Structure 1
Amino acid sequence: MSDNRETFWDRLEDINAGMLGLNATARFLPMSHYADDDINALWFITAKGTELVKSLQSGAQEGTYIVSSAKEGLYARIAGSLELSDDREKLDDLWNAIASSWFEDGQQDPDVQLVRMSLSDAEVWATDGSLSFLYEIAKSKISGSKPDIGDHFSLTF
């Protein structure tokens, strides 16, 4: 795995949530993701009654997931194909206390729906964190140079 890919997956795994939306609607909602770098996918646990799930019932659609974390030093726009999944084994693997908080009957709740995002590409900004950012801003004021806020790269999956 290239350094950029490794940086992306390592940092993404430590981020809890982002904003997910279908490109056709441009409406974004906060969602928790579960990274699966073995297959270049993100997984989401949501409810069957949501607009997202209703939209995906007719088939896969292109979507965008946006993450932003100063703590992890990752800002990314991630694109891919979203589709519903009935993979119970994957749901078993992903299920946790956070997911169970949303469903009255836990994992067996009939409203639980798994969504898979097969990644196509990502535009990524990787920084050294907020202290480094502040240092770079202060240094630029003294030296007159532009601050070095980290790496900017694109990934294709």
Structure 2
Amino acid sequence: MSTENLHNDEAREKLKDLVNKIDVGILCTYPTDQPYVHAVPMSRQEVDEEGNIWYLFSSESDTFKHLKQDNKVSILFSQVSDYSFLSLNGVATVSQDKARIEKYWNKFVEAWFEKGKEDPRIRVMKVQVDDAHYWDNKTSKLVTLLKVAASAVTGKKLDIGREGELNV
């Protein structure tokens, strides 16, 4: 596996590509009264031009309660079908930005908020990414598996993918 650290625009573009391709990530918050992280699947609304990731969620959720105690988050994305993975850490800010709620409103979100866009529980979360690490392959899953098998049989190291830091 080769290393390819990306910076600035390239890093933001890679982050955006991976998050948009995978969509649902496991969002981890850090409750101060529990020994372990709290993890929930979350579908992103947008990755903006600065590399911030946006979500809609409920003020009645454990995630909201935990963010009031500690605004650090980690998000893990995994697309096993093509060996694409992303792990990131950042800081979340929460608002009730009506323009963002309007922008992100869709049928999927509507299922979570029966009172519609005016539901007082709706919160907007912006995750500002502090650091991120990715792993992906350069070829299809089948070719990657064949390269892994060939490496095991021959003992030769074949370049099966890339990984690196994303410095957004």
Determine if the alignment matches structure 1 residue 139 to structure 2 residue 139.
Answer: no
User: Out of 74, 91, 106, which is 1:96 matched to?
Assistant: 106
Shift of 1:122: 0.1
Determine if the alignment matches structure 1 residue 79 to structure 2 residue 127.
Answer: no
Across the two proteins, how many residue pairs are aligned to each other? 155
Q: How does 1:1-157 map to 2 (within 5 A)?
A: 1-2=9-10, 4-24=11-31, 25-57=36-68, 61-71=71-81, 73-127=83-137, 128-157=139-168
Q: CA RMSD in A?
A: 2.1
Identity of aligned residues (%): 25
Match of 2:5 in 1: none
Instruction: Spell out, residue by residue over 1:28-76, the C-alpha distance to the aligned partner (whole angstroms, 9 max, x if none).
Output: 1111113323122111111111111122235x61110000013454201
Q: TM-score w.r.t. structure 2 length?
A: 0.80
Any conservation in 2 of the 1:71–1:129 contact (CA below 8 Å)?
no
**Tell me, which stretches of 5 or more residues in structure 1 are unaligned?**
none
**Tell me, which stretches of 5 or more residues in structure 2 are unaligned?**
1-8
Change in Cα spacing, 1:126 to 1:8, as seen in structure 2 (3 Å) is: farther
Shift of 1:155: 1.5
Name the amino acid aligned to 2:63.
Answer: L
Q: TM-score w.r.t. structure 1 length?
A: 0.85
Question: Matched residues in 1 for 2:136 and 2:48: separation?
Answer: 18
Any conservation in 1 of the 2:29–2:37 contact (CA below 8 Å)?
yes
**Relative contact order: is structure 1 or structure 2 higher (C-alpha 8 Å, sep ≥ 6)?**
2
